[in-house]
Copies of this chain bind each other. A is one copy, B any other.
């Protein structure tokens, strides 16, 4: 998606440790017009898949999910993060290991809002190691829901998440895949 790549090149900032900050338009301050264009892109890619729910994870996936859900005319469901292991029987729960913080946390959704009838498009701002995404896939499996695809704004192509998901046969649509970020701040996209 050229508009997103242009935004990343003009407003993104690269920091040591392969960190890309896009908090001016994606995950702190949010450019809602861009979100809506992203929503249309994912709608074009998955409109024939009978999508019933857009699933994401708090917090930075929520804005994107809302624009995608508007395009599809379906609800958003966002998984919550929790540090507690004892969360009750009315939730689907999966454990995620945070790459950044080297700690485990739980992701949960209420059993009321996801079932075997659902056809789910999962969306998020970033895909890197894929750990959070594997947690969301686990929640869908536990609910018996069908995952029709995964829609990502920015995939870090130099980390394993995309490969892990595609090797499982999951349809992954990334609007921008970064193959390299150089020490002097240059961002190189995959063609």
Binding site for B on A (CB under 8 A): 23-25, 28-32, 35-36, 58-59, 62-63, 65-67, 69-70, 75-78, 80, 109-110, 112-113
Tallying the copies of this chain within the complex gives 2
- The answer to whether A30 and B75 have CB atoms under 8 Å apart is yes
Mostly, the A contact residues are mixed
Closest Cβ of chain B to A37, distance in Å, is 12
Partner of A28, one of B31, B32, B110: B110
Nearest to A77 among chain B residues (CB) is B29
Partner of A70, one of B32, B76, B110: B32
Q: A28 to B55, alpha carbons, bound, how many Å?
A: 10
Closest Cβ of chain B to A167, distance in Å, is 31
In the complex, what residues of B have CB within 8 A of residue A63's CB?
A: 62-63, 66, 76
Question: Given that A58-B58, A62-B63 are contacting pairs, would A32 and B77 also be in contact in the complex, using a CB cutoff of 8 Å?
Answer: no
- The answer to whether B66 and A28 have CB atoms under 8 Å apart is no
Q: A77 to B31, alpha carbons, bound, how many Å?
A: 9
Question: Given that A59-B62, A66-B35, A70-B36 are contacting pairs, would A113 and B29 also be in contact in the complex, using a CB cutoff of 8 Å?
Answer: yes
Nearest to A71 among chain B residues (CB) is B32
Pairs A–B under 8 Å by Cβ, sample size 6? A23-B113, A28-B113, A30-B69, A58-B58, A58-B59, A59-B59
- The answer to whether A77 and B113 have CB atoms under 8 Å apart is no
In the complex, what residues of B have CB within 8 A of residue A62's CB?
A: 30, 59, 62-63, 66
Question: Given that A58-B58, A59-B58, A78-B59 are contacting pairs, would A66 and B32 also be in contact in the complex, using a CB cutoff of 8 Å?
Answer: yes
- The answer to whether B113 and A75 have CB atoms under 8 Å apart is no
- The answer to whether B76 and A32 have CB atoms under 8 Å apart is yes
Q: A58 to B80, alpha carbons, bound, how many Å?
A: 11
Closest Cβ of chain B to A31, distance in Å, is 6
- The answer to whether A76 and B110 have CB atoms under 8 Å apart is no
